[in-house]
Each structure stands twice: as structure tokens, then as C-alpha cells.
Amino acid sequence: MNHKPTLIKLYHLLVSADGGNVNEKEILAGKQMSKVEGINEFEFDRIIDSLKKRNASVVLSECVEELKKFDHEQQVRCIGWLSVIANADGFMDKSEWHFIYNLYHRELSLQLDEVMKKQKELAELKERSSSMLAVL
């Protein structure tokens, strides 16, 4: 199953979790995530625009259902990205933490240490993609 649309939905829900106060660092982190994951920028923007018109609780239910169909590695990767993005501005808002915790712990029963390890790997990939973007 393709995890990219789910990852975009999760990104949207996360950056909206703190009342929609999306800052530039979260936007940049989303672009870097897209680059690392091979998500087309046009497709990313199209899906985000469509999500803005939908009920967040319905989108969340879809995401949980989709995440449960993924293999373990894809689940950990998706949650790892959420953690990277939530920390992009140097601070994980309480509502962002609650959102991530509910997904990894309650819905997916993932171990925190696995998520943290993946978060570290993805943060390094994000930084390398950032460095490559700066060269261009």
C-alpha cells in the first residue's frame, strides 16, 4: 500500500493540531519530507488543498485505518516523520505531542524507542536534503 497520501494527510493533521498555527519551519520540513519520500510537489499541494475542506476527525479516522494496513516499518516511518515535523520549530506543542502519542501508542502499539530511532534517521535525511536544496 502506498504510504505517501497517508503521510500527506498526517502532515496536514499535525500542522493543524495546534489550532492551525503553521510556521515556516513546519512548512519547510513538509517540503523536505516530500523530497525525501519522493512526493511530487504538485500532488502534495493538491492533497493539502483538498484536506482543508474536509472534517479533520474523518481524515484522522481514514489515516488510522490506512496506518493499520501498513507494515510495521511504514508505520514507524510515518510516525517518525510526524515527530521530525513537530520538532521542526524547536518545540513540540502539547497538542502535537498528544496527536502523535495517540497514533503511535494507542492506535498502533508502537514502541517509543523505535519511533525515536526512526525520527533521528529521518531528521538526518531531512538535513541532507536541506543541504542539497541550498546548493541548488
pLDDT digits (tens, 9 = 90+) for 70-114: 999 999 999 999 999 999 988 888 999 999 999 999 999 999 999
Mean local confidence (pLDDT), 113-134: 84
Residue 48, sorted as left (phi over 0), alpha (psi -120 to 50) or beta, turns out to be alpha
Residue 19: per-residue pLDDT? 74
The residues spanned by each domain of the chain are 4-135
pTM, two decimal places: 0.92
In whole angstroms, give the CA distance from residue 127 to residue 121: 10
Specify the amino acid at residue 28.
L
Residue 136: per-residue pLDDT? 46
Residue 110, sorted as left (phi over 0), alpha (psi -120 to 50) or beta, turns out to be beta
Annotation: CATH topology of 4-135: TerB-like (1.10.3680)
